[in-house]
Amino acid sequence: ARKCDKNENVLTIFKSPRIWGALLGELIGTMVIMMFLLTLGFAQPLYLIFAMIAVYVVIAGLSGANLNPLITVGMMATRRMSAIRGVLYILAQVLGAWIGLIIVNAFRLGSDTVSELPMMAEITGETFWAVALVELLGAVILAFCFARSLRFVRKSPLTFAFAIAGAMTLVVIVGTIIAQGYFGFADSFMFNPAAALMYQILPTTADGIGELASMAGLALAAYVVIPMIGGVIGFYISDVVTRLSAGGYRCDDDFICEA
């Protein structure tokens, strides 16, 4: 069922200045997250969690704090967001991630000791499905938790931010355990297509144009396309579970609970 404004389209969306505030919120939020990822990465998880909470609390009231194309695609697929708003959000997220990369790169190149920016694991035919499955699983979990937390966006942004930060922590832990424990490689997951595009996922060298195109296609599929599919799956699972539970599980004052 449609959950967004059915009258919102390319002809009406720009009539209200609120869309610009939402787009700026998505841009700034994704930019800050990108800067945190490029400087802290997953090596400093505690700092990253508190940074994520701060960003989501601040941006929630502006745009709903998607800050991730896989979330926006899931919102569009389950009709929580109009197609035009979703496309604009994704463009703002990619632009924000790019600006974050530029800022970090400017500081990096301006320092006396130039350090390398972090890179994702190179995708090959042998590792593609392992990376893709980790990305898919993480995206489904993240999207499901986001969909279940949407009720708190307006009435309790802090609760919403803690829920999303907790979901991100969960998917990072799951991704790390599966990637390192079962497949033996690290730096192989991102769970954010906008950030992944700026995280040097695309190959720069190959034996030929055909091999370069094949490697680029595998990287885009693993880090961009499959997470978006996972986002759609996560949102649909949330809708199905919500409908089946008919509003949820409730307890009275005597702690007698029933569905």
For residue 259, pLDDT beyond 70? no
Residue 74 contacts by C-beta under 8 Å, 6 or more apart in sequence? 143, 146, 147, 231, 232, 234, 235, 236
Question: In 3-state terms, what secondary structure has residue 251?
Answer: strand
pLDDT at residue 254 in the model: 47
pLDDT at residue 3 in the model: 80
Question: In 3-state terms, what secondary structure has residue 250?
Answer: strand
- pTM for this prediction: 0.88
pLDDT at residue 202 in the model: 65
The residue that leads in pLDDT, 188 or 196, is 196
In sequence order, which ranges of the chain are alpha helices (DSSP H)?
Answer: 18-39, 45-63, 69-77, 83-110, 128-149, 152-155, 157-182, 193-198, 209-220, 226-245
The residue that leads in pLDDT, 33 or 252, is 33
Tens-digit pLDDT profile for residues 193-235: 998 888 766 655 556 777 667 777 888 888 899 999 999 999 9
Portion of the chain with pLDDT greater than 70, in percent: 85
Pairing of strands 257-258, 250-251: antiparallel
Q: Average pLDDT of 36-64?
A: 84
For residue 121, pLDDT beyond 50? yes
